[in-house]
Chains A and B, each alone.
Chain A
Amino acid sequence: MAELFSFLLGLAAFYSIYQMLALSLNLEYGYGGLPNFGKVMFFAGGAFVTGALLTRLVALSPGAPPDMVWDVSKFKIYNTLLATRGSGYLATNPLLALTLFALMLILGAGVGALLGILASYPAVRLREDYLGVTLIVSGELLRIVARNYEPLVCGTLGVSVPNLFAWAGTYSELIKVGSMVAVSTATVLLINIMVNSPYGRALRAMRDQEAAAASLGKDVVLLKIKTLAVGSAIAGAAGSMYAMYLGAVVADEFTPLKTFIVWLMVVMGGAGNNAGACLGALTYIGIDRALTLFKHLIPLPFDVNYLYYTVMGVALILLLMYRPEGILPERPGRLYATTEISSDSRGGQAAPH
């Protein structure tokens, strides 16, 4: 029973993180037609800023020796100790802990948004293929910098992050995951409001009508920048949440495989349909968690995860061939009326030409 409960908690935690990632990609690609092949970069951005700051911030309060915090060579060794001490301190101060939780989410989102704006520079200038290459290698470079620049997240060793929910005692895990689900659900609502607003319609107009969108001129550029900023902010917040959930940040975890997984979720569920993206995330995470649980029962001479990735890769290719619209296809709605699209997205600004 307890095992089932902890399995469900883990499932809910990973699901709320990946739901945010899948929705952010769905916003960018499914609605806006912006193929973001560097998703992991924005996710990592949020995780790295949390890893770099949270333990240090908390360590300042209970009066840890300052050189342990600021001297990288010492912080590298003592960060786990500091994080544990921090957790203990925060156990007595729930208000501060929750404030830090919110602060980290905001910081993660901020770093994500910043990286998103940075990425929009090539995104408005390059063709999809060059853009894909640029984003995928940018993500890899961020990882390489993080694993070598130790002040950030202690290089290859990784950094520990204090538990912000230690104050809840035995319910710590439950409340932690509950907060994550709450944040993730809020994101779902936010994105649903966004895609049904004039902004969402402009976004689809940009995706569906390249030529018409081009005549909209400057608006399209701004729209792309905005979309990448918002999508990346969500991914950044998810990264921050991921760091706080796992209690550690290891740079080498943030490989392009994460990007692949998020794409898999969106394509499997149905691009351009938020329910589809959520379903895709649930399917993948469900199998992934179950595999982790039963891994030791499967007698294979190799890590079963590799087999899972192989199967998922094949599944994604087959989906692209036989059901490119995903399990839950995008609903064609009244939003497609061209007149509405053009009047909305032009927003009364100067006419083209």
Chain B
Amino acid sequence: MNVVLDALAFSNIIVLSSIGLTLTYITLKVPNFAHGDLVTIGAYTALAAARLLGITPYAAIPLAFIASGMAALASYYLVYRPLDRRGAGIVTLMIASMSTEVILRASLHIFADVMTTSTKSYWRGFLFREEGGQLTSYIVVSTITAILIIISLYLFLHRTKYGVALRAAVENPSLASAIGIDVDKARAVSWLIAGGLAGVAGVFMPFRTPTDPETGWALLLRMFAASVLGGLDAVFGAVIGGYVIGLSEVLGIYLLSGPPLNLSTAYRPAIPFAILVILLLIAPRGLSGVEWRRLLSRMSRGVVRSG
């Protein structure tokens, strides 16, 4: 049972971060390699709030949202928008994405080192220990947070005029601007939300695993697997993708590490990787890109023929 709960908590983190990865992918069609580092920023914001302000990490969720959201927004305004305006192609944007990743991760290392020296306490490999033996409270909180965020994001994107405009602007920028939608602002808001959600995911990380400046980067594989699984251009596909990836990784390694295989649990990342590779080879546009109707009709025809 504990394994299932752990898998759920892990999936919540993946889901929250993959939604943002998909959202930023839609705006500029660039895979944001720095998205994992936005998760780390969220984790460090929570740590800083807990250590310096003395509040519980949960209370730092809004702060983490703002910190990571601002980092994402800055990368949009300082890196991607200027390049996009210069007519940069996809490879250029990807090189920039890789550079941004290096900058953020190296800055996090610097931050961790500086804080360690100046506060005389460890800022690497930290964990949030819960008081009073409520071992699973973060599982409950992360699940509720994930559900609330998914619902409110859905309502925002589908039930508010501004949310619909945001979807319109990222889908067809030229038509949207002809209609009077501020496309640039819509993109900026997308990056803000994407970064913010990664930050929220980051708050839950240190409850599970010792966190350091590399933690978020290591998550990137899972986020990509989840986003591709859900279809890189479908925001809520990432929700399903995230839960599938998170659950199959944790539950999968639980099964594989037991008898008869006794595999080392360190091979965990191989599970999302295998899913990603298989997916890219059979359905490069993700599950939402599969032409289910055609596939089903072909299958049913096959049944008729054989029967």
* CA–CA, A141 and B276, complex, Å: 12
B: contact size bracket: 35 or more
CB distance from A266 to the nearest CB of B (A): 9
Asked if B140 lies at the interface with its beta carbon under 8 angstroms from chain A, I say no
Query: A129 and B98 in contact (CB under 8 A), knowing A144-B269, A309-B106?
Result: no
Check if A137 sits within 8 Å of B221, measured CB to CB: yes
List residues 72-96 of chain B with CB under 8 A from any CB of chain A. 79, 82-83, 86, 88, 90-92, 94-96
Check if A267 sits within 8 Å of B31, measured CB to CB: no
Select from chain B the residue with minimum beta-carbon distance to A261: B102
Interface segment among B111-119, B175-183, B235-243: the answer is B111-119
Check if B95 sits within 8 Å of A267, measured CB to CB: yes
Check if A37 sits within 8 Å of B98, measured CB to CB: yes
Q: Say what secondary structure dominates the interface of chain A.
A: helix
Check if B94 sits within 8 Å of A306, measured CB to CB: no
Asked if A316 lies at the interface with its beta carbon under 8 angstroms from chain B, I say yes
Contacts of B91 in A (CB 8 A): 29, 35, 128
Check if B100 sits within 8 Å of A313, measured CB to CB: yes
List residues 117-132 of chain A with CB under 8 A from any CB of chain B. 122, 125-130, 132
Select from chain A the residue with minimum beta-carbon distance to B107: A310
* CA–CA, A138 and B224, complex, Å: 12
Asked if A18 lies at the interface with its beta carbon under 8 angstroms from chain B, I say no
Query: A129 and B30 in contact (CB under 8 A), knowing A301-B117, A303-B113?
Result: yes
* CA–CA, A349 and B248, complex, Å: 48
Select from chain A the residue with minimum beta-carbon distance to B109: A306
* CA–CA, A132 and B146, complex, Å: 29
Select from chain A the residue with minimum beta-carbon distance to B86: A321
Contacts of A287 in B (CB 8 A): none
Query: A314 and B103 in contact (CB under 8 A), knowing A122-B280, A134-B276, A320-B83?
Result: yes
Contacts of B209 in A (CB 8 A): none
Select from chain A the residue with minimum beta-carbon distance to B227: A133
Check if B99 sits within 8 Å of A317, measured CB to CB: yes
Asked if B273 lies at the interface with its beta carbon under 8 angstroms from chain A, I say yes
Query: A134 and B269 in contact (CB under 8 A), knowing A309-B103, A310-B110?
Result: no
Q: A-side interface residues toward B, CB under 8 Å? A: 29, 35, 37, 122, 125-130, 132-134, 136-138, 140-141, 144-145, 147-148, 256-257, 259-260, 263-264, 267, 301-303, 306-307, 309-310, 312-314, 316-317, 320-321, 324
A-B contact pairs, 23 of them (CB 8 A): A35-B91, A122-B281, A128-B94, A129-B94, A130-B228, A130-B284, A132-B31, A132-B94, A137-B224, A138-B273, A140-B221, A264-B99, A301-B117, A302-B117, A306-B109, A309-B106, A310-B107, A313-B100, A314-B103, A317-B100, A320-B83, A320-B88, A320-B92
Of all A-B residue pairs in the complex, the 4 with the closest CB atoms, nearest first, are A302-B113, A313-B103, A309-B106, A148-B266
